[in-house]
């Protein structure tokens, strides 16, 4: 083999090596962005759970006739918190995210149902503390929706990078897989 071809092979090998390192670092950076975005979302989910506990505390005393709805919210909230805990460990993994999406939707529906019950009970109208919790829950829900958008955008950016050729070959070698949106 001539010196020219030997050097050409070394140059091609070096270019491929540096490309591989750059592609790997880019995918890792995007995967870490998913974790950062989930941290913001998790903060809103945790705040919603805390406020949900406060709402449950108020309503158990004042609305014993609505015990089924109160218990449904408590169960949905426990499931959502367990699902969020699973995602905290691996925020880029698709299966825990799918479970969180389901439990979060059930929790949100139970919370909405209970808030509408609060708004329809005339004996609760004068309870300023209860309505403060309800108003704060509505604010946290808007913050959660925004954090969810940021999370979904981070997931989309990561998934696009994982799907691109030739990076797709590299990421499959290192065990990267697509993530899931909420």
With a cut of 90, say whether residue 82 has pLDDT above it. yes
Q: Does some domain include residue 60? A: yes
Report the candidate in 145, 105, 110, 103 with the shortest Cα–Cα distance to residue 118: 110
Cis peptide before 36 (omega within 30 of 0): no
CATH of the domain at 33: 1.20.1440.20
Phi, psi of 116 (to 5 degrees): -65, -35
Q: Does some domain include residue 79? A: yes
Banded pLDDT at 171 (limits 50, 70, 90) = confident
Q: Does some domain include residue 179? A: no
Q: CA triplet 138, 111, 123: central angle to 5 degrees? A: 85
Number of domains in the chain: 1
Q: Write out pLDDT tens, residues 21-50.
A: 989 999 999 999 999 999 999 999 999 999
């Amino acid at each position: 083999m001539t010196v020219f071809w030997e050097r050409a092979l070394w140059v091609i090998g070096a270019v491929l090596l540096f490309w591989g390192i750059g592609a790997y670092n880019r995918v890792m950076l995007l995967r870490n962005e998913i974790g950062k975005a989930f941290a913001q979302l998790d903060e809103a989910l945790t705040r919603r759970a805390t406020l949900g506990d406060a709402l449950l505390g108020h309503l158990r005393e004042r609305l014993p006739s609505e015990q089924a709805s109160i218990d449904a919210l408590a169960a949905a909230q426990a499931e959502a918190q367990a699902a969020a805990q699973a995602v905290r460990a691996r925020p880029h993994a698709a299966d825990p995210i799918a479970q969180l999406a389901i439990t979060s939707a059930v929790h949100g529906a139970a919370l909405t149902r209970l808030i509408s019950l609060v708004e329809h009970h005339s004996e609760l109208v004068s309870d300023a503390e209860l309505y403060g919790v309800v108003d704060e829950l509505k604010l946290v829900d808007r913050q959660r929706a925004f954090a969810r958008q940021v999370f979904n955008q981070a997931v989309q950016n990561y998934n696009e990078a994982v799907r691109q050729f030739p990076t797709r070959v590299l990421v499959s070698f290192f065990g990267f897989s697509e993530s899931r949106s909420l």
